[in-house]
Chains A and B, each alone.
Chain A
Amino acid sequence: MNDFSLNIENLSKSFTIHAQGGLRLPVLKSFDLDVASGECIALVGPSGAGKSTLLRCIYANYLADSGRIALNNHGEVVDIRTAAPREVLKLRQHVIGYVSQFLRVIPRVPTVQVVAEPLRDRNIPADEATARAEKLLARLNVPEKLWQIPPATFSGGEQQRVNIARGFIYDFPLLLLDEPTASLDRANGSVVIELINEARERGAAIIGIFHDEDVRAEVATRLVEVQPLQAAA
């Protein structure tokens, strides 16, 4: 696990809104960040500074304009910004886990299968994947009666826990966490803190956005500031 790192160099990302006559909104400019395994980086900065945008660029969900997002996995280096779609999909299967703020799932797929999917994608037998998904859902206090129901109608906090379970069911070397405790009460929040710390101790590299300062204090090994561009200029 020690030969895993993420090196972001000179990363810039802007949005061009064509419906507004090509209005250009710069969000990140010449951003640098190095993350090693066993680290948990907390991104800090005001809303709209580009913290979520940075996570999405690392997941290749957003296309960065320039710079490098070099992922070094046991000597194999891939620049996520320019990688072909099939390379990115492979990384998402094996290397990068992402817990977004909102759950996006296929209609009518039961919760337990939504959670088990990252394992099924890796050809882990259905019964083992299901057992692990159930264990994690139980740990996150998602009531057992909900496991066979698709999560579309769940409360915000329940959906968030399903999302967290999906992100933590497999030992991804890199975890991107966008406000993983935002809609959770204190008890469930502390389960998530435990999961994050366990992941870091097993050697995961973690980059997260944690608005709750208590949560941040319990998980972060380093704070990295993301400044809004106007203020930085």
Chain B
Amino acid sequence: MTALMDQDQPLLRVSSVTKYYDLMIGCRNVSFDLWPGEVLGIVGESGSGKSTLLNCLSTRLEPNSGAIEYNTRASGLVDLFTMSEAERRMLMRTDWGFVHQNPRDGLRMGVSAGANIGERMMAVGARVYGDIRESAAHWLGRVEFDIDRMDHLPSTFSGGMQQRVQIARNLAVNPRLIFMDEPTGGLDVSVQARLLDLLRELVGDLGLSAIVVTHDLAVARLLSHRLMVMRNGEVVESGLTDQVLDDPQHPYTQLLVSSILQV
């Protein structure tokens, strides 16, 4: 994996984040730092709280307690939930990306692939049509999308192609942090392998930080530097990805690792 940047401040600092749904636990007491250039994998079975955590981190959900600080370009570490709604939305547009498992959740299905990307760029101030189009083509090229189809609607694309467009849409504003929720979840293995390789390469080349939620340990091994294992809303183990997978300490992690089917 590509060079981690040498910087002495974390990009994201998460302290004791807890989220309840009525009386049900979403996630409890989660803390970690994410450093620039680092990819953090979050694994665990359905209902373990990994998506709740991701939604809290990306401010789609407000935690009941705890703090999530983000290292803003302008004023360093700032608690996301003390920012105004407008500031937060600006941050989401300029600094962050979110890749959904289902491309339909991250794309506008009624406009072309090119427009899906152009729209994100216009949201951060791009105005010249020629530049926008050129840049959209550039990002579609980076995700190995057939440029001849950039004026077609996403509904005419395969799942793998839609996912490429969604990734390009997220990269076009040069984000610093990308959240990914099962990014290769619904795809054929052959498409998945190519897309994983592509994601890994892009994250490395662009020096992005990323938080990837997946239930697939193989995906976590390929993409992430560091791993957190969640169960019943809590982090039961965390560490270097290959260490957690090759020498799991917690009973639940051992069970997860020993349950992988071998090909």
- Are A and B associated in one complex? yes
Could you say which of A15, A86, A123 has the most chain B C-beta atoms within 10 Å of its C-beta?
A86
Contact A85–B226 (Cβ < 8 Å): yes
Per-residue B-contact encoding for A139-158, CB less than 8 Å = 1, 0 else = 00000000000000000000
Contact B226–A19 (Cβ < 8 Å): no
Q: Which residues of A contact B196 (CB under 8 A)?
A: 106
Mark out the residues of chain B between 237 and 263 whose CB falls within 8 Å of any chain A CB in the assembled complex. 239-240, 242-243, 246-247, 249-251, 254-255, 258
Known: A19-B258, A121-B2. Is A62-B246 also a contact (CB below 8 A)?
yes
B176 within 8 A of A: no
Contact A62–B247 (Cβ < 8 Å): yes
A73 within 8 A of B: no
Contact A89–B243 (Cβ < 8 Å): no
Q: Which residues of B contact A121 (CB under 8 A)?
A: 1-3
B93 within 8 A of A: no
* Pick from A15, A85, A120: contact of B240, CB under 8 Å: A85
By beta carbon, the residue of chain A nearest B227 is: A85
A186 within 8 A of B: no
Known: A85-B226, A109-B197. Is A18-B254 also a contact (CB below 8 A)?
yes
Known: A89-B240, A107-B193, A109-B197. Is A122-B3 also a contact (CB below 8 A)?
yes
List, sorted by A's number, 10 A–B pairs whose CB atoms are closer than 8 Å: A17-B254, A18-B254, A56-B246, A56-B247, A62-B243, A62-B246, A89-B4, A106-B197, A107-B193, A121-B3
Q: Which residues of B contact A85 (CB under 8 A)?
A: 225-226, 239-240
Question: How many interface residues does A have (CB within 8 Å)?
Answer: 24
A residues sitting closer than 8 Å to B (CB atoms) are 15-19, 56, 60-63, 85-86, 88-90, 93, 106-109, 120-123
Contact A106–B222 (Cβ < 8 Å): yes
Contact A61–B246 (Cβ < 8 Å): yes
Known: A60-B240, A122-B3. Is A106-B35 also a contact (CB below 8 A)?
no
Contact A120–B2 (Cβ < 8 Å): yes
Known: A107-B193, A108-B193, A122-B3. Is A61-B254 also a contact (CB below 8 A)?
no
Q: Which residues of B contact A108 (CB under 8 A)?
A: 193-194, 197
Task: Give Cα distance in the complex from A153 to B10, angstroms.
Answer: 41
Task: Give Cα distance in the complex from A138 to B246, angstroms.
Answer: 32
Contact B200–A106 (Cβ < 8 Å): yes
Q: Which residues of A contact B251 (CB under 8 A)?
A: 18-19
Contact B4–A90 (Cβ < 8 Å): yes
- 5 further contact pairs, Cβ within 8 A, besides A61-B242, A88-B240: A56-B247, A85-B225, A85-B239, A90-B4, A106-B222
Known: A62-B243, A106-B200. Is A86-B38 also a contact (CB below 8 A)?
yes
Q: Which residues of B contact A56 (CB under 8 A)?
A: 246-247
By beta carbon, the residue of chain B nearest A120 is: B2
Q: Which residues of B contact A17 (CB under 8 A)?
A: 254
Q: Which residues of A contact B193 (CB under 8 A)?
A: 106-108
Per-residue A-contact encoding for B50-90, CB less than 8 Å = 1, 0 else = 00000000000000000000000000000000000000000
Q: How far is the CB of B248 from chain A (nearest CB, A)?
A: 9
Q: How far is the CB of A64 from chain B (nearest CB, A)?
A: 10
Q: Which residues of B contact A19 (CB under 8 A)?
A: 251, 254-255, 258
Q: Which residues of B contact A60 (CB under 8 A)?
A: 240, 243
Q: How far is the CB of A107 from chain B (nearest CB, A)?
A: 4
* Pick from B1, B38, B239: contact of A63, CB under 8 Å: B239
Task: Give Cα distance in the complex from A15 to B226, angstroms.
Answer: 21
Q: How far is the CB of A76 from chain B (nearest CB, A)?
A: 13
Per-residue A-contact encoding for B207-225, CB less than 8 Å = 1, 0 else = 0000000000000001001
Known: A89-B1, A106-B222. Is A61-B247 also a contact (CB below 8 A)?
yes
Q: How far is the CB of B133 from chain A (nearest CB, A)?
A: 29
Q: Which residues of A contact B200 (CB under 8 A)?
A: 106
Q: Which residues of B contact A123 (CB under 8 A)?
A: 3
Task: Give Cα distance in the complex from A89 to B226, angstroms.
Answer: 10
Q: How far is the CB of B49 from chain A (nearest CB, A)?
A: 21
Contact B35–A86 (Cβ < 8 Å): yes
Could you say which of A56, A60, A107, A108 has the most chain B C-beta atoms within 10 Å of its C-beta?
A107
Contact B225–A61 (Cβ < 8 Å): no
Q: How far is the CB of A77 from chain B (nearest CB, A)?
A: 18
Contact A107–B243 (Cβ < 8 Å): no
10 shortest interchain CB distances as A-B pairs: A18-B251, A107-B193, A85-B240, A62-B247, A85-B226, A18-B254, A63-B247, A108-B193, A61-B242, A61-B246
